[in-house]
A and B are shown apart, each in its own frame.
Chain A
Amino acid sequence: MGHRRQGPGSAGLTFLQLAPILCRAALRRPYGLPATPATFQLENNLVHVPSGQSQPDESRVYRLCQGVSGFNTKGYARMFCVDELSTDRPTAVELLEIMAATLSQTVVPATAPHAQHQARVVANLCRVLGRELAADKPTTVSIPPSLRDVDNATADDAYGHILELVRAKLAVNKPGYDAHGAAQERDIVA
């Protein structure tokens, strides 16, 4: 049987039963942790998840699942292995981190004043890209085709969803910016 499952989920389930659990676990894995082809092994339609490697990357798993017709077990296992083997460490996120640090700490001080601002901007963009690669996939929401002429109820209903969409963009582009919101702005005006 060989299905010792030591991470989140239940042992002894078929792959199709385990797949949603696997994906949920996948959502929580910090980007850049070691993951080997052995992370998930398929044996007799069951999945083995070694201890300590129970949180693979969300976006990667999603991409894999989207690429597998019918989400079959064999395809899932094969593609996951291929994906894990197709890049080396450092990961893209890890590279962007060191690129940003090098620009900020080494290049900017050694750069002529007129180019320093550009170098700082490039360093910041590296950080933005790193966060974007590591970010959770935004939740899909339904928004009317145009909001300019909708009634009040529709506008009020859409407001919260749109605020969350913008908040998700800020988490990538400018983390922490949403700490100052409507209530804080009202308070400083009062």
Chain B
Amino acid sequence: MSRINETTLGSYLSTALQSDVTVANLAPVTAGARRINVLFDATIDDAHRGLCITQLPNEGDAFRSIPDEVQWLNLAHTADMNVAEVVAWSDDASVLGGPFFITQQIHGVTIPKHVIELCSATPGLGSKVAFQLGESLAKLHVRSIDEVPADVERPPGTAVDAALAWIDEGISELLQRSPAFELVVRWLTNNQPPPAPITPIHGDTRNGNIIVNENGLGAILDWETAHIGEPFEDLAWLAQRMWRVRNDHLEIGGFADRSDLRSGYEAGGGTWSDERFHWWKVYRCVWWGLGLARQGRQHLDGTFRSVIMAASGRRVAELEWDALCLIDPGVRST
């Protein structure tokens, strides 16, 4: 059980930073299913600073250990990406009731609808955020895979090989047949892009995992699924329809065009390919559709019984539709 409060946090930070630290104004914020995020104000040797603690109350539920995630965050910070700087961390559950890290607090909105509303109300902001996302991701993608935590899996073949193998597994686990995904996997198999280098990638960069404020992109959040893969797995994820919150005319998160993302990516040192972008966009549709089907199955088989997981099973058709539209033989978008 989490033991985060003003006293425990102040005590920990005083020791960790070897300073006189007092904590106030704890404010839990919307978080994922496995994590707790709490904003707070710290006074460190008379200097005021806004901080945020991210904690895993149940370490067994985590995709990645806190030390590994901190290593990814530090890599991103070193690469000059838009990320929150890590101030302190601990994987000792006895300190605050679960492993955690503390970062600087970054002002802005994270809920996709609010991001779109802010961008809609601020001329040029959406384009700027997409540009910064592209630039930031390029800075990660040019880094060496030797810089990521040693226990992160290195795909034995190409990223495309690994992607198709994952899909095979997902299709084989379906509780009911998906002719739509069969057709789309046929397309993916027949239209594989040439092999490309693998790099560190964030894995879940999207509207919903970013902080946006009136100045642009505040930070890319949630590094727990960062891994080694192909850059366009990251870039195409941003273009999925579900992140647009019905603002479908803007491909990137419902707030910008692809050209904005591309400009930023090239400015950051990345090499763009519309063909690769499209292949990974189709792939990510199926990937997430199979992920939703898996959630529905986990509810049914008792692995994780929850109305949210059950409802996920009824969302698969959205991804089937999106994927079919992307491979429409008449009007294939590239």
- Residues of the A chain whose Cβ atoms lie less than 8 Å from the Cβ of B183: 147, 155, 158-159, 162
CB of A182, distance to nearest CB on chain B (Å): 4
CB of B318, distance to nearest CB on chain A (Å): 6
How many residues does chain B have at the interface if contact means C-beta atoms less than 8 Å apart? 36
- Residues of the B chain whose Cβ atoms lie less than 8 Å from the Cβ of A173: 314-315, 317-318
- Interface hub of B241, B257, B330 (most chain A Cβ within 10 A): B330
Interface residues in B198-255 by Cβ distance below 8 A to A read 241, 248-251
- Residues of the A chain whose Cβ atoms lie less than 8 Å from the Cβ of B182: 146-148
| Interchain CB contact under 8 A, A162 and B332 | no
Kindly identify which residue among A118, A124, A170, A183 contacts B321, using a CB–CB cutoff of 8 Å: A170
- Interface hub of B250, B324, B330 (most chain A Cβ within 10 A): B324
Kindly identify which residue among A121, A166, A185, A189 contacts B311, using a CB–CB cutoff of 8 Å: A121
Q: Mark A142-175, 1 if CB is under 8 A from B, else 0.
A: 0100111110000110110011011101100110
| Interchain CB contact under 8 A, A170 and B318 | yes
User: CB of B325 within 8 A of chain A?
Assistant: yes
Q: A118 to B310, alpha carbons, bound, how many Å?
A: 11
| Interchain CB contact under 8 A, B314 and A167 | no
Kindly identify which residue among B179, B251, B308, B330 contacts A188, using a CB–CB cutoff of 8 Å: B251
CB of B29, distance to nearest CB on chain A (Å): 10
Q: A169 to B318, alpha carbons, bound, how many Å?
A: 9
User: CB of B334 within 8 A of chain A?
Assistant: yes
User: CB of A181 within 8 A of chain B?
Assistant: yes
- Residues of the B chain whose Cβ atoms lie less than 8 Å from the Cβ of A184: 248
Q: A113 to B185, alpha carbons, bound, how many Å?
A: 40
User: CB of A21 within 8 A of chain B?
Assistant: no
CB of B207, distance to nearest CB on chain A (Å): 15
| Interchain CB contact under 8 A, A147 and B320 | no
Query: How many inter-chain residue pairs (CB < 8 Å) link A and B?
Result: 99
| Interchain CB contact under 8 A, B318 and A124 | no
CB of A65, distance to nearest CB on chain B (Å): 26
User: CB of B151 within 8 A of chain A?
Assistant: no
**Interface of A, helix, strand, loop or mixed by DSSP:** helix
| Interchain CB contact under 8 A, B333 and A189 | yes
User: CB of B118 within 8 A of chain A?
Assistant: no
With A159-B183, A173-B317 known as contacts, the answer to whether A182 contacts B333 (CB < 8 A) is: yes
- Interface hub of A121, A148, A190 (most chain B Cβ within 10 A): A148
User: CB of B258 within 8 A of chain A?
Assistant: yes
Q: A155 to B329, alpha carbons, bound, how many Å?
A: 10
| Interchain CB contact under 8 A, A182 and B180 | no
User: CB of A122 within 8 A of chain B?
Assistant: yes
- Residues of the A chain whose Cβ atoms lie less than 8 Å from the Cβ of B179: 143, 147, 158, 162, 165
Interface residues in A102-141 by Cβ distance below 8 A to B read 117-118, 121-122, 124-125, 128
| Interchain CB contact under 8 A, B317 and A118 | no
- Residues of the A chain whose Cβ atoms lie less than 8 Å from the Cβ of B310: 125
CB of B111, distance to nearest CB on chain A (Å): 12
Closest to B319 in A: A166
Kindly identify which residue among B317, B324, B334 contacts A174, using a CB–CB cutoff of 8 Å: B317
- Residues of the A chain whose Cβ atoms lie less than 8 Å from the Cβ of B241: 180, 185
With A118-B308, A173-B318 known as contacts, the answer to whether A180 contacts B248 (CB < 8 A) is: yes
Q: Mark B37-58, 1 if CB is under 8 A from A, else 0.
A: 0000000000000000000000
With A149-B186, A162-B180, A173-B317 known as contacts, the answer to whether A186 contacts B332 (CB < 8 A) is: yes
Q: A44 to B170, alpha carbons, bound, how many Å?
A: 58
| Interchain CB contact under 8 A, A182 and B189 | no
Q: A128 to B325, alpha carbons, bound, how many Å?
A: 23
- Residues of the A chain whose Cβ atoms lie less than 8 Å from the Cβ of B325: 180-182, 185
- Interface hub of A166, A169, A186 (most chain B Cβ within 10 A): A166
- Residues of the A chain whose Cβ atoms lie less than 8 Å from the Cβ of B322: 185
Q: A174 to B242, alpha carbons, bound, how many Å?
A: 12
Q: A187 to B251, alpha carbons, bound, how many Å?
A: 10
Show 10 A/B contacts (Cβ-Cβ < 8 Å), sorted by A.
A118-B307, A121-B311, A125-B314, A148-B189, A162-B180, A162-B183, A162-B324, A182-B324, A182-B331, A188-B257
B contact set with A: CB distance below 8 Å = 179-180, 182-183, 185-186, 189, 241, 248-251, 257-258, 306-308, 310-311, 314-315, 317-318, 320-322, 324-326, 328-334
A contact set with B: CB distance below 8 Å = 117-118, 121-122, 124-125, 128, 143, 146-150, 155-156, 158-159, 162-163, 165-167, 169-170, 173-174, 177-178, 180-186, 188-190
